[in-house]
A and B are shown apart, each in its own frame.
Chain A
């Protein structure tokens, strides 16, 4: 089982190549491969979490080149958790897509698998340059997936998304170059070890490089001045793709968490926690902007896209607080918000399909064919995402609020709670328009089991997260402790770091 760590990258890669075999036709086979590979990824994710749960940091040296010289994939509690989360989200999205969405353009399943490969690779890599490469893999797949099915809105949103991300990639490379020039390594653990004994005259360079990385990750995570691409892009994307994109902003959050806890951890001396003040204030501003956006949205998809932004602000606030307790709370919230916003994107599509011409716009439309069940799911999702008890959003938010210390409280509490109120108002307004303000005869076809499965699979996470809150928060606590002790990872990767210098 030594090769288990590389499976989340290799499995979707192989599946994607197999899916290239025939571009047209073979729908059934393609769906089998796509769903099969994603389901296997869930199993691999569970195995990885079980393995990382022991607390050991293990790594996989590709081609057996030992770190810091070769490329490594690193497994710790955080990366295992993120891989499992991606797989669970993707399974819901891919089953949903098998109901016809995948046939609106060519090679949906192949691109979907490659996107998974990029995401998993970004979570597992222990090397800064490979983080860039996997970012590019996931972005390139996401560009194509975003345009899947075509249409004016998607092309327009796509142009912005692609151009912004290309500029972001250029900045990423510059930052990597600066950090390599200053430290002479790209391996993140090695870089952390070398920063501890950095000559003082290079501190400026490293600061510049570190903060440029923050801009790049902020663009991916959609932090305040860099989020303007998100609402339109997510609202325009096809539903299963938008659901998968729910994890994409979390890739940015993950990268911030990983890079700044490992490289710029306590050991980095004067450079320690260089991002914290920036992330803290920008996260609060993101929350405010997202709250206004949620209230202003006139379309259910746009509303959910702004809810993604709310979750980004909340998560970044957790990073900005910096304590292990806050990190643990944000990880719990991250699981909740990824699955629920993913589920809401799928649900918005179902609602739109049954409302005829009105679609997902929040205007009077035809009554829904299966309004009862959709309303139950919508209610579940809304209660959960707005953070009302008894569902998981409330627990996540309560953990975060409890983690705020001293001066952070008067800033975080009102912002987070008022944003929650904004979400609640917007969601109840949306729900009453969609389900009650209707006229005419119901239209549209009844939904098939695949669509129900996709939505229920993701939204069921909320009650499950409440029932299993004990074990999950145990795991996230342990993860936060592991992140707070970057020396563990340095020792695991570079046993001779002390005397090799």
Chain B
């Protein structure tokens, strides 16, 4: 299970990073979203992966580490708000600047200058 989990997180991070480095705002936003998914998965695993643990402390038996769950919840909420904000920002940049490049300049602009 560990290796599958690690490969999934790694793949998500790699795809997220690749997309974040693209030149247009839409792939960048998608990349940031993927990156935050990967981070959430990673956070979830940071207390160590256990199976069949109780979600809350129940007598003496094994239980899942509650802290990563709380942290992931916080991270998801913050990530959601940030994604919403960055989507709006990208749309506003598209309407104000006139194109969807992250630095507001198209290739034609650069060739002209």
Contacts and interface: CB of A to CB of B under 8 A. Distances in A.
Interface of A: 129, 133, 136, 140, 143, 147, 150-152, 155-156, 158-160, 162-163, 166-167, 169-170, 173-174, 176-178, 180-181, 186
Contacts of A173: 39, 42-43, 75
Nearest to A177: B46
A177 B89 contact: no
Contacts of B96: 150-152, 155
A159 B102 contact: yes
20 contacts: A133-B78, A136-B82, A140-B85, A152-B104, A155-B89, A155-B96, A155-B97, A156-B93, A156-B103, A159-B102, A159-B104, A163-B86, A166-B32, A167-B20, A167-B35, A173-B75, A174-B39, A177-B45, A180-B67, A181-B46
A186 B103 contact: no
A364 B92 CA distance: 34
Contacts of B61: none
A170 B89 contact: no
Instruction: Give the dominant DSSP class at A's interface.
Output: helix
Nearest to A171: B39
Interface in B28-60: 28, 32, 35-36, 38-39, 42-43, 45-48
B89 A162 contact: yes
Contacts of A170: 32, 35-36, 38-39
Contacts of B42: 173-174, 177
Interface string B4-33: 000000000000000010000100100010
Contacts of A180: 46-47, 67-68, 71
A114 to B, nearest CB: 13
Contacts of B64: none
A173 B71 CA distance: 9
Contacts, number: 85
B81 A140 contact: yes
A150 B93 CA distance: 10
A215 to B, nearest CB: 14
A181 to B, nearest CB: 4
Contact of B86 (A136, A156, A166): A166
A201 to B, nearest CB: 15
Interface of B: 20, 25, 28, 32, 35-36, 38-39, 42-43, 45-48, 67-68, 71, 74-75, 78, 81-82, 85-86, 89-90, 92-93, 96-97, 102-104
A160 to B, nearest CB: 7
Contact of A156 (B71, B78, B97): B97
A173 to B, nearest CB: 5
Contact of B93 (A143, A159, A174, A178): A159
Contacts of B28: 163
Please list the 8 inter-chain residue pairs (A to B) with the smallest Cβ-Cβ separation, ordered nearest first.
A177-B46, A181-B46, A156-B104, A173-B39, A177-B43, A170-B35, A170-B39, A155-B93
A181 B82 contact: no
A306 to B, nearest CB: 20
B46 A178 contact: yes
Contacts of B102: 159-160, 163
Nearest to B86: A162
A459 B50 CA distance: 58
Contact of A159 (B25, B68, B81): B25
Nearest to B34: A170
Contacts of B25: 159
A446 to B, nearest CB: 33
B26 to A, nearest CB: 12
A177 B86 CA distance: 24
Contacts of B85: 140, 143, 162
B57 to A, nearest CB: 13
A147 to B, nearest CB: 8
Contacts of B78: 133, 136, 169
A159 B26 CA distance: 12
A155 B78 CA distance: 22
Nearest to B104: A156
A50 B48 CA distance: 44
A238 B81 CA distance: 24
Nearest to B43: A177
A181 B54 CA distance: 20
Given A159-B102, A170-B36, A186 B67 contact: yes
Contacts of B81: 140
B81 to A, nearest CB: 7
Contact of B82 (A158, A169, A174): A169
A152 B97 CA distance: 6
B105 to A, nearest CB: 9
Contacts of A151: 96
A178 B38 CA distance: 14
A143 B89 CA distance: 10
A180 B39 CA distance: 14
Contacts of B86: 162-163, 166
Given A170-B39, A177-B42, A129 B71 contact: yes
Nearest to B78: A136
B32 A167 contact: yes
Given A158-B89, A159-B104, 15 more contacts: A140-B81, A147-B92, A152-B97, A155-B89, A155-B97, A156-B103, A159-B90, A163-B20, A163-B28, A163-B102, A177-B43, A177-B68, A178-B46, A181-B46, A186-B67
